[in-house]
Homo-oligomer: A and B are copies of this chain.
Amino acid sequence: QFSFRSFVSLFKEKIQKRSSDDTKKLIHSIKVGIALVLVSLLYLLNPLYKKAGENAMWAIMTVVVVFEFFAGATLSKGINRGIGTILGGSLGCMAAVFAQEVGGVGNVGNAVIVGTSVFIFGAAATHFRMVPSIKKRYDYGVMIFLLTFNLVVVSGLRATGVMELARERLSTIGMGFGVSIFTSLLIFPMWASDEFHYSTASKFENLASAIEGCLEEYFKVVSEKENQPSASFKSCKLVLHSKSKDESLANFARWEPWHGKFGFSHPWDKYQEIGEVLRELAATIISLKGCLQSPRQASSTLRQSIKEPCEAVGSSLAWTLRELGDSIMEMRRCLPKALILPKLQSTRQEIGLVISPSKLATIEGGEGLAISSFVFLLKE
């Protein structure tokens, strides 16, 4: 009855997650539509157009580029864009004025100075962008800095009112940012922190059912085994390859303001550490695939003899994992150490009893144990 229950629950969860994902995507699309219409009002309404003029273009551009799925991503991109524009604009103005003073307006000297500064800043900013820590969080900002700098310094050659131009563009970009933030944060906000929290907690559940599925498959009669798709490994692989997704979620979550149950300094680093440990556990479980697929199997009588203790170990591991996952999901303290630790220790002893007949299956127990107790210590 093990597998059936876990399979049904997995399936149900998938469907629920699926449909809620779809509605979220739909909501996001509609939000983008609304934000675009709002920002188009700068063109559509006469009084607004008189103020903004052609520069309203920049507001539209900002909305299209900045509006992302998660609120944190929108905030981070918007702030990056804002700061990049301000820095690039002011440096560009300074360079343009410097070139005009030194080179004279419209002279060759002016053009040479501008060209040189374009080259130097372009190369420097690009090199800066490739530093890993900058790339992770400020890549977009540096790109916008470079873009604005170039536009301003180059058009300083032709237009006279560079300052004016830069100021106007900045204000329309600000408007676009405002519209984006307004729609992103106030209409059904999509929090990266919620997603991160949920996905971390559900990893525990995935691994727990993977352990169960794995044990069950091992103790199945050989003839049944062939046409069995290894569903449990798929969820394991998802956990294993979640690193880059986790990193970006943690990055966005850091930008998000206080909301719901998360404070300003929620320990997202801890989440990443937990993810790392879980990925190691997932690697262990996947390596069991080799045992399951290996042509040399222990005889079925031998397997039957170790079936019971192994299943006990497996279910206790799965229980521990689910317990930890639930405690993270609901953000309550773990059951007191006194309750979980003895259970793990007794499991360890049980493994000691069966370890002699066959290690193929129990090695999983030992390692899972070591790792899950590590997780436990992390949380405590």
Binding site for B on A (CB under 8 A): 25-26, 28-30, 32-37, 40, 43-44, 49, 56-57, 60-61, 64-65, 69, 111, 114-115, 118-120, 122-124, 126-127, 130, 143, 146-147, 150-151, 154-155, 157-158, 240-241, 243-244, 279-280, 282-284, 286-287, 289-291, 293-294, 296, 359-360, 363, 366-367, 370-371
Q: Once the chains bind, are B43 and A127 in contact (CB under 8 Å)?
A: no
A-B contact pairs, 6 of them (CB 8 A): A25-B130, A29-B126, A33-B122, A61-B147, A240-B283, A290-B371
CA distance A147 to B30 in the complex (A): 16
Could you say which residues of chain B place their CB within 8 Å of the CB of A126? 28-29, 32-33
Q: What copy number does this chain have within its complex? A: 2
Could you say which residues of chain B place their CB within 8 Å of the CB of A44? 111, 114-115, 154, 157
CA distance A291 to B44 in the complex (A): 68
CA distance A373 to B180 in the complex (A): 54
CA distance A115 to B35 in the complex (A): 11
Q: Once the chains bind, are A289 and B280 in contact (CB under 8 Å)?
A: yes
Assess A64 versus B146: contact at CB under 8 Å? Given A44-B114, A284-B290, A363-B363. yes
Assess A64 versus B154: contact at CB under 8 Å? Given A118-B40, A120-B33, A130-B69. no
Could you say which residues of chain B place their CB within 8 Å of the CB of A122? 29, 32-33, 35-37
Q: Once the chains bind, are B360 and A363 in contact (CB under 8 Å)?
A: yes
Q: In whole Å, how far is A380's beta carbon from the nearest beta carbon of chain B?
A: 19
**Given A28-B126, A43-B155, A290-B367, 10 new contacts (CB under 8 A):** A29-B123, A30-B123, A33-B118, A60-B147, A60-B154, A240-B279, A283-B283, A283-B287, A296-B366, A363-B363
Q: Once the chains bind, are A36 and B130 in contact (CB under 8 Å)?
A: no
Q: Once the chains bind, are A147 and B28 in contact (CB under 8 Å)?
A: no
Could you say which residues of chain B place their CB within 8 Å of the CB of A118? 33, 36-37, 40
Q: In whole Å, how far is A151's beta carbon from the nearest beta carbon of chain B?
A: 6
Q: In whole Å, how far is A261's beta carbon from the nearest beta carbon of chain B?
A: 27
Could you say which residues of chain B place their CB within 8 Å of the CB of A32? 122-123, 126
Q: Once the chains bind, are B119 and A151 in contact (CB under 8 Å)?
A: no
Contact among B35, B69, B150, B294 for A64, CB-based, below 8 A: B150
CA distance A118 to B291 in the complex (A): 57
Contact among B40, B120, B157 for A150, CB-based, below 8 A: B40
CA distance A127 to B57 in the complex (A): 23
Q: Once the chains bind, are A40 and B290 in contact (CB under 8 Å)?
A: no
